[in-house]
Structure 1
Amino acid sequence: MLDDQWSELDQEEAPPVDMLAAFFEARGWSVDHVSDEEISVEIKGNWTSYQLRAIWRDEDHVLQILLLPEIRVPEEKKLAIYETLGLINEQLWLGHFDLWSTNSILLFRHATMLGGSGMLGLDQAQSIVDMAIDEWERFYPVFQFVLWSDKSPQDAIKHAMVDTQGEA
């Protein structure tokens, strides 16, 4: 059945919300249609579950992806998290991590301009979604070290970003 859903997408372009909804359903993720311009799904990652929101702005042809784990930053950790965000974001080519000031939730966000057609292809949808998930999976331990192990942002990055050599 998964193959049938993928073949239905047929590598064609579609309006962004429609393409992402079909893509999410093909992956077996339950889609919540928040509005004509916004959808939301819950995704199980290696470290935690994430809420992914896709928001389409037709007036400027921008698709915004927000990926949020359920991580709230306590007031006393905000300064360390802002420093951590700065150190992490300077390593990224696409998207950025952010801390919402209204509710102290950490998130990853990325906006894509889709040009005049305002259409999204399957390959592009998959790349955008996978990139957001991959970045959270890569940096989640850094945030854990800062928030729960009281490591400095520099130490957290040093300890969490160790590249494994060889095979176990």
Structure 2
Amino acid sequence: MGKLMMNTGREPIEEADDAAPVEMLAQLFEAHGWPCEFVNEDELSGEIQGSWATYQMRCIWRAEDNVLQLLCLPEIRVPDAKRKPAYELLALVNEQLWLGHFDIWSNGGVLLYRHGLMLGPDGMLSLSMAQVAVESAVSECDRFYPAFQFVLWGDKRPKDALEAAMVDAAGEA
């Protein structure tokens, strides 16, 4: 087995054999020191500090479909009065994504990033795949968080908010 460098500042950890998806994600969270807990045997809930906020991460395994769904919630609620511009921004943001998409739950107006991973017939997940999936979700939330802030609290038009967020992100590196 090779070694996989975890971005924790600690020693590299051995890449474990593939494991059940929720178990592997729990190991990943533990390696990073991110708080998490099992909701049930097929669901993990945890928190990850992003650049702009602490994101709640929900990981749900559907064995019957061999699909692992990752939900990353950036703690943004969309008030009813802002739904129309928020949905317009969602459409513009989702055009920028190769994997996953942003959505707003109809019940409660919670903004979230959602991505489903179809796993092979054995339903196993590698540590490296788990890390890439989680980092990608957090990265996309970080990338577009300012645009949603600009629309919801800065009263910018969706197109202007996205452009401003992309300029800020480009200057951040």
Deviation at 1:46, TM superposition (A): 1.2
Alpha-carbon RMSD across the aligned residues, in angstroms, is 1.6
Q: Which runs of 5+ in 1 are unaligned?
A: none
* Alignment-derived partner of residue 164 in structure 1: 171
Q: Which runs of 5+ in 2 are unaligned?
A: 1-8
Asked if residue 151 in structure 1 is aligned to residue 156 in structure 2, the reply is yes
Residue identity opposite 1:164 in structure 2:
G
1:3 pairs with one of 2, 11, 16: 11
Q: Deviations over 1:98-126 (max 9, x none)?
A: 00001100000000000201000011000
Q: Deviations over 1:129-156 (max 9, x none)?
A: 0000000000000000000100000000
Q: Which runs of 4+ in 1 moved over 4 A?
A: none
Deviation at 1:164, TM superposition (A): 2.6
Provide the secondary structure at the position in 2 that maps to 1:156: helix
1:129 pairs with one of 117, 134, 138: 134
TM score, norm. by length of structure 1: 0.93
Quick check: 2:36–2:45 contact (8 Å CA) kept in 1?
A: yes
Residue identity opposite 2:23 in structure 1:
D
| Identical aligned residues as a percent | 54
Quick check: 2:20–2:124 contact (8 Å CA) kept in 1?
A: yes
Quick check: 1:52–1:66 contact (8 Å CA) kept in 2?
A: yes
Q: Distance in 1 between matches of 2:74 and 2:166?
A: 19
Deviation at 1:21, TM superposition (A): 0.3
Deviation at 1:3, TM superposition (A): 3.3
Quick check: 2:101–2:113 contact (8 Å CA) kept in 1?
A: yes
2:28 pairs with one of 20, 23, 29: 23
* Alignment-derived partner of residue 111 in structure 1: 116
Residue identity opposite 1:37 in structure 2:
D
Q: Distance in 2 between matches of 1:2 and 1:12?
A: 20
TM score, norm. by length of structure 2: 0.90
Q: Distance in 1 between matches of 2:124 and 2:138?
A: 22
Deviation at 1:11, TM superposition (A): 3.9
Quick check: 1:73–1:147 contact (8 Å CA) kept in 2?
A: yes
Quick check: 1:55–1:64 contact (8 Å CA) kept in 2?
A: yes
Count of paired positions? 163
